[in-house]
Amino acid sequence: MKNLILLTVGLLFSLTVSSQILKPVKWSYAAKKTSKTEATLYLKATIDEGWHLYSQNMADGGPVKTSFKFTPSKAYKTVGKTTEPKAIVKFEKSFDMNVSYFEKSVIFQQKVKLTGANAIVKGTLEYMVCDDSQCLPPETVDFSIPVK
């Protein structure tokens, strides 16, 4: 009887563990007006220990790069490209190439010119993360950032 209880508990535990969905990246957003007609958007990725998020700036043929698409609007226009801090560059055997990535956290920045009142910048971002043993499929996230 004791073995049956242990077996049942073990099976329930293994089902719980295997059904967990991995979400090693949490995104947060902010905007700061730098003048009456300009603002900077901050798109922050907080990355779980042991995982890394790939840079926007990488050669083709490797992991999916982080990318940002901003929905066109009459209230704002993007200025230049989305910027990022200096990434870690290492050779990854799984891709047979040097890759650029971030660990722990990274803040991407995008400048916008405000052309209307109460702008809400909307768009999508796509990213991919890996750890030492696996890569998760690329994920697309919608965002909405009010500029006050």
For residue 117, the model assigns a pLDDT of 79
- Tokens of residue 57, six digits: 């700036």
At 18, is the pLDDT very low, low, confident or very high (cuts 50, 70, 90)?
Answer: very low
**Percentage of the chain lying above the pLDDT 90 cut:** 78
Domain spans, the chain: 23-146
- Tokens of residue 17, six digits: 């563990």
- Domain covering 23-146 assigned CATH 2.60.40.1250 in the classification: yes
User: Residue range 82-89: average pLDDT?
Assistant: 98
pTM tops 0.95: no
